[in-house]
């Protein structure tokens, strides 16, 4: 059992990262209004959130700029148009996917960019490419994190080898990512132990990015922060791909650092997130996402199920079992 004092006190090193635009953008193709994004920025400042992730910096060669909202690409100019010179305590983040970002050209020097943190997202088989991106971003003057995705289908020995490689890079933060929302708190605690061994050896920090397929995103985030993980991803009203992410409202309610405030998150949810949901944008715990979580699968078939407005959950489950 963890010390109960941890629920009463706080750790100065904890950081809350709002990933609403980026992970939430996956369910509305990044079509957020400027009014929404400006209000989100103002809310994050008031709520004491530490980082606001704007979106992907995706390749404009690989992806059609007409098919997506601008936060799929999150150019420095578009971010500047929201944050100005960002004379606040809120830091700005973007995500850069290995193989889907022209980082050499599109990520400029930090001194000429509103961005503070570049989050490199990679699969296990792309680690050398991720390390090149980490080095590039670090040389340009950014804080850099690395999110290794889909680790719930990986062998521990491969994860350890990847961590050893990445830890030798100049990365600042290593993220534990439960891409499929399939990890139980006890299993997460074990993963934290594995990541901590590498992180402690090389002086890196840890982060957690949880999905809600089994209604455990917040619970796994609590588990992680109790185990010493500092960077906590969350989104407003849990908006995110499929079943969504850790909800930022209860997370700020849990953390005892006086800088965090729940009220602004409720106001923003009231004014923007609830209307967004009412307008037909779909995310959150549902049975099709539970199925992919239980089966430790990518949510893509569940997303398709949702898109087609299917409700034959039981048949979907047996179809998924049949593909095993």
Residues binding a second copy (CB under 8 A) = 1-2, 4, 6-7, 184-187, 189-190, 193, 212, 214-219, 222-223, 226, 237-238, 247, 249-250, 253-254, 262-263, 266-267, 269-270, 274, 285, 287, 290-291, 293-294, 311-314, 317-318
In whole angstroms, the minimum distance from the beta carbon of 296 to a second copy comes to 11
Task: Give the residue among 54, 129, 58 at the shortest CA–CA distance from 100.
Answer: 58
In whole angstroms, the minimum distance from the beta carbon of 187 to a second copy comes to 6
Residue 67 or residue 186: which is nearer to a second copy going by CB?
186
In whole angstroms, the minimum distance from the beta carbon of 229 to a second copy comes to 14
In whole angstroms, the minimum distance from the beta carbon of 219 to a second copy comes to 3
Task: Give the residue among 279, 277, 299 at the shortest CA–CA distance from 290.
Answer: 299
Alpha carbon separation from 29 to 45, 60, 171, 245 (Å, rounded): 25, 15, 29, 17
Residue 198 or residue 290: which is nearer to a second copy going by CB?
290
Burial class (CB in 10 A: 0-12, 13-18, 19+), 218: buried
Tokens of 20: 């609403």
Answer whether 103's CB lies under 8 Å from 135's CB: no
Tokens of 153: 């289908």
In whole angstroms, the minimum distance from the beta carbon of 116 to a second copy comes to 29
Task: Give the residue among 148, 127, 139, 194 at the shortest CA–CA distance from 170.
Answer: 139
Residue 33 or residue 318: which is nearer to a second copy going by CB?
318
Alpha carbon separation from 287 to 181, 283, 298 (Å, rounded): 13, 12, 14
Alpha helix segments (H runs only) across 173-235: 185-202, 217-226
Residue 121 or residue 216: which is nearer to a second copy going by CB?
216
In whole angstroms, the minimum distance from the beta carbon of 254 to a second copy comes to 7
DSSP string, 6-63: GGTS--TT-EEEE-HHHHHHHHHTT---HHHHHHHHHHHHHHT-SEEEEEE---TTTS
Alpha carbon separation from 304 to 12, 121, 307 (Å, rounded): 42, 23, 5
Residue 282 or residue 287: which is nearer to a second copy going by CB?
287
In whole angstroms, the minimum distance from the beta carbon of 50 to a second copy comes to 20
Residue 62 or residue 274: which is nearer to a second copy going by CB?
274
Residue 4 or residue 323: which is nearer to a second copy going by CB?
4
In whole angstroms, the minimum distance from the beta carbon of 77 to a second copy comes to 33
Burial class (CB in 10 A: 0-12, 13-18, 19+), 287: middle
Question: What is the Cα–Cα distance from 160 to 93, expressed in whole angstroms?
Answer: 27
Element (H, E) at 249: helix 248-254
Residue 171 or residue 234: which is nearer to a second copy going by CB?
234
In whole angstroms, the minimum distance from the beta carbon of 321 to a second copy comes to 8
Residue 77 or residue 156: which is nearer to a second copy going by CB?
156
């Amino acid at each position: 059992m963890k010390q109960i004092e941890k629920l009463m006190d706080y750790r100065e090193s904890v950081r809350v990262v709002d990933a609403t635009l980026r992970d939430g953008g996956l369910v509305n193709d990044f079509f957020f209004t400027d009014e929404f994004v400006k209000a989100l920025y103002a809310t994050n400042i008031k709520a004491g959130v530490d980082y606001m992730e704007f979106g992907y910096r995706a390749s404009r060669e690989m992806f059609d700029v007409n098919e997506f909202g601008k936060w799929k690409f999150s150019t420095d100019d578009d971010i500047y148009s929201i944050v100005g010179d960002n004379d606040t305590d809120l830091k700005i983040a973007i995500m850069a996917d290995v193989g889907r970002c022209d980082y050499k050209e599109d990520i400029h020097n930090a001194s000429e960019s509103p961005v503070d943190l570049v989050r490199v997202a990679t699969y296990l088989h792309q680690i050398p490419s991720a390390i090149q991106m980490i080095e590039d971003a670090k040389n340009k003057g950014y804080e850099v994190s690395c999110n290794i995705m889909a680790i719930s289908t990986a062998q521990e020995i491969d994860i350890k080898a990847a961590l050893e490689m990445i830890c030798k890079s100049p990365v600042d933060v290593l993220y534990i990512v439960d891409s499929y929302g399939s990890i139980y708190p006890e299993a997460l605690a074990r993963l934290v132990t594995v990541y901590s061994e590498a992180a402690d050896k090389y002086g890196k920090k840890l982060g957690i990015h949880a999905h809600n397929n089994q209604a455990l995103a917040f619970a796994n985030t609590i588990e992680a922060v109790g185990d010493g993980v500092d960077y906590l991803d969350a989104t407003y009203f849990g908006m995110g791909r499929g079943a969504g992410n850790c909800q930022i409202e209860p997370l700020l309610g849990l953390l005892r650092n006086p800088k965090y405030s729940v009220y602004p998150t409720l106001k923003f949810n009231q004014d923007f997130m609830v209307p967004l949901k009412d307008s037909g944008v779909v995310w959150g715990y549902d049975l099709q996402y539970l199925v992919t979580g239980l089966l430790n699968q990518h949510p893509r078939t569940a997303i398709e199920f949702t898109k087609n407005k299917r409700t034959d959950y039981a048949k979907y489950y047996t179809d998924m079992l049949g593909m095993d």
